[in-house]
């Protein structure tokens, strides 16, 4: 097959997650596409966060955050959180939150929630890469099938080139 070499779009598709942090009673939310798993056992994931963002500053202080899997029902709120920084505007009330055992806010309107604890921080250019262990996982009951998460019911958001978003179900149609 003939290939064309391109330079502008290294990531054709990436999952989008909502990262929630809390510092001094103020909760913050921001969408992240630079996210992925590193190890299955123990479950270690990474997010890569621009150093100036409130998300990065909060995680440096608390060493905890949550990863929440959004679907299209929270799309407008997700875009809002991606458009404004918590440094300029308090985003505490954008989502309803709940807590598990850790002192980290989890987003009620997202079907899956991971409470994470930082195990290593890598500085890479203008970002901090937070390598973190998932300590607690929550899932909406109606997204389980035979006690296993069902990806079609979870219907996670994917981002692609040109600022476009997709869902698994729409891709399946
Ligand atoms: C789809 C999408 C993916 C994003 N991915 C990242 C990312 O991986 N890392 C990052 O630092 N910012 C990312 N951003 C930008 C932040 O979400 C945005 O700058 C946000 O306002 C930062 O908020 P904060 O300062 O409250 O943390 C993304 C935005 C969108 C819309």
Counts of helices then strands in the chain (DSSP H, E): 4, 14
Q: Measured from the CB, is residue 60 less than 6 Å from ligand 1?
A: no
DSSP E strands, 8-143: 13-15, 17-23, 26-32, 35-39, 44-50, 64-69, 97-98, 106-107, 112-124, 127-139
Whole-model pTM over 0.85? yes
* pLDDT of res. 12: 80
Q: Measured from the CB, is residue 85 less than 6 Å from ligand 1?
A: yes
pLDDT tops 90 at residue 8? no
Q: Measured from the CB, is residue 48 less than 6 Å from ligand 1?
A: yes
Give 172's pLDDT tier (boundaries 50, 70, 90): low
* pLDDT of res. 35: 95
Span 119-144, pLDDT tens digits: 999 999 999 999 999 999 999 999 99
Cβ atoms of residues 164 and 173 within 8 Å? no
- Mean pLDDT, the chain, whole residue set: 95
Residue with CA closest to ligand 1 atom 15: 82
Structure tokens at 107: 């987003």
Domain parsing of the chain, residue ranges: 13-168
Give 7's pLDDT tier (boundaries 50, 70, 90): confident
Distance 31 CA to ligand 1 centre (A): 5
CATH 2.30.110.10, domain 13-168, yes or no: yes
The 10 Å Cβ neighbour count of residue 128 is: 20
Q: Measured from the CB, is residue 149 less than 6 Å from ligand 1?
A: no
Ligand 1 atom index nearest CA of 127: 11
């Amino acid at each position: 097959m003939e290939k064309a070499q391109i330079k502008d779009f290294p990531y054709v598709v990436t999952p989008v997650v909502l990262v929630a942090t809390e510092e001094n009673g103020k909760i913050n939310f921001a969408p992240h596409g630079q996210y992925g798993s590193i190890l299955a056992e123990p479950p270690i994931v990474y997010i890569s966060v621009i150093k100036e963002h409130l998300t990065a500053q909060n995680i440096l202080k608390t060493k905890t955050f949550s990863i929440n899997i959004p679907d299209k029902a929270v799309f407008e709120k997700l875009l809002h959180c991606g458009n404004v920084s918590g440094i300029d505007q308090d985003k505490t009330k954008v989502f309803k939150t709940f807590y598990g055992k850790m002192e980290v806010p989890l987003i009620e309107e997202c079907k899956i929630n991971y409470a994470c604890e930082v195990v290593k921080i890598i500085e890479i250019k203008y970002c901090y890469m937070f390598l973190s262990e998932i300590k607690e996982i929550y899932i909406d009951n109606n997204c389980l099938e035979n006690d296993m998460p069902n990806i079609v019911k979870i219907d996670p958001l994917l981002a692609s080139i040109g600022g476009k978003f997709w869902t698994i179900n729409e891709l399946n149609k």
